[in-house]
Amino acid sequence: MPNSLDIAKPPHETRVVVAMSGGVDSSVVAALLKFQGYEVIGVTLQLYDHGAAVHRAGSCCAGQDIHDARRVAEAIGIPHYVLDYESRFRNEVMERFADSYLSGETPIPCVDCNRTVKFRDLLGLARELDADALATGHYVVSKAGPDGHRTLHRAADEGRDQSYFLYATTQDQLDLLRFPLGELPKSRTRELAAELGLAIADKPDSQDICFVPSGRYADVIERLRPGASRPGEVVDLSGQVLGHHDGILRFTVGQRKGIGVAASEALYVVRLDADTARVIVGPRSALATKTVRVRDMNWLGAPLTGDVVDGIEVAARVRSTRAPKPALLRRIGGEWLVELLDAEEGVAPGQACVLYDSARPDARVLGGGIIQPVARVAANPPAAALATGA
């Protein structure tokens, strides 16, 4: 009979590596599994930016967080290892983040981190340790499927659901991963931390991108790519110059504040043109998007065959803070298109478009990819032509 992790072994014969960040969530995972009788090994990834930032996110941390993870491991009686992944993190996450912003995108470094450093490299370590599973503190659910593979689903706590950031998890990775907190609300996790006597029970959650603790993305990018950003023009949808800017990396599609131009109506960033260093602005109506082009699709649903996929019903999520909305998935040749039934505003290239089998709270993740420059529903032909790059 499977144990609580859906593994056909008794807990005391089941070895689990737990990615420990020093935060409440991963600490509770480690403690719960230990007290349930599993053989638990704690691993913390030490990630620094040459001393420029001290940060934490998921299973990556430094400074106080490493100390907290070590304290928890000692308190619950498990071995704990700290691995220096600085160079991997810089190459796989930070460098890509900088290049993406400079190309006019709004990237999600957490996706790259989960896809590479955490799940690819940390899972490799788990296998080297002959572990039966790698457990994390993510709020997402995985279930055993009828074909022997695991499926990924939204968390029970919709406010904490992290499935948007995990869409790029491969099937091979998903089969070894476990998410013990997926069915719990965050409030219960904190209660468990206190009940288990963990010293970090009241520790606040990390809010920012781990290597941008101040939220000042431009400063980090300029440090990674000195002199790469160049000034340019702020123009309206007709191409009229309204002002100037210091670099497109300071803007994102959908942005309203901080554009730096005066106008008789509210203006929003509609598109960023990295080639010309132009920031194109327009009214809110120009942000409406119904067709989303997606690259680097990671598909976790039933296998798709042939070059043409025509009209699979899905629910699409174009921002981590938005709910999935009804859509149709198409694949023509090598191009993936998501047709939204109702237009969305502020769909930004570089963000993820994550697909689910429904809009239900427990919906299954079917896959997703990175949003490319998209066609928009605009109030007049010039706006539509410029917004699509025509």
Copy the structure tokens of residue 300: 């976790």
β-strand 133-135 against 15-19: which pairing, if any?
parallel
Separation CA 286–CA 377 (nearest Å):
7
Question: Which residues contact residue 372 at a Cβ distance below 8 angstroms, ignoring those fewer than 6 apart?
Answer: 293, 294, 295, 349
Strand partners, 152: 142
Residue with tokens 């800017």: 245
Residue with tokens 């119904």: 290
Question: Which residues contact residue 141 at a Cβ distance below 8 angstroms, ignoring those fewer than 6 apart?
Answer: 152, 153, 154, 155, 156, 179, 182, 183, 362
Asked if residues 34 and 42 have their Cβ atoms less than 8 Å apart, the reply is no
Separation CA 201–CA 347 (nearest Å):
37
Of 60, 110, 113, 353, the catalytic one is 113
Asked if residues 278 and 296 have their Cβ atoms less than 8 Å apart, the reply is no
Residue 269: CA count within 13 A, CB half-sphere: 27
Separation CA 322–CA 320 (nearest Å):
6
What are the DSSP E strand ranges found in the chain? Answer: 15-19, 39-46, 60-61, 80-84, 133-135, 141-144, 150-153, 177-178, 232-235, 241-245, 268-273, 278-282, 289-299, 308-317, 325-332, 335-344, 352-356, 365-371, 375-376
Separation CA 379–CA 310 (nearest Å):
28
Separation CA 386–CA 373 (nearest Å):
11
Of 60, 61, 210, 353, the catalytic one is 210
Q: Is 60 a catalytic residue?
A: no
- DSSP letter at 228? -
Residue 345: CA count within 13 A, CB half-sphere: 11
**Which amino acids are annotated catalytic?**
113, 210
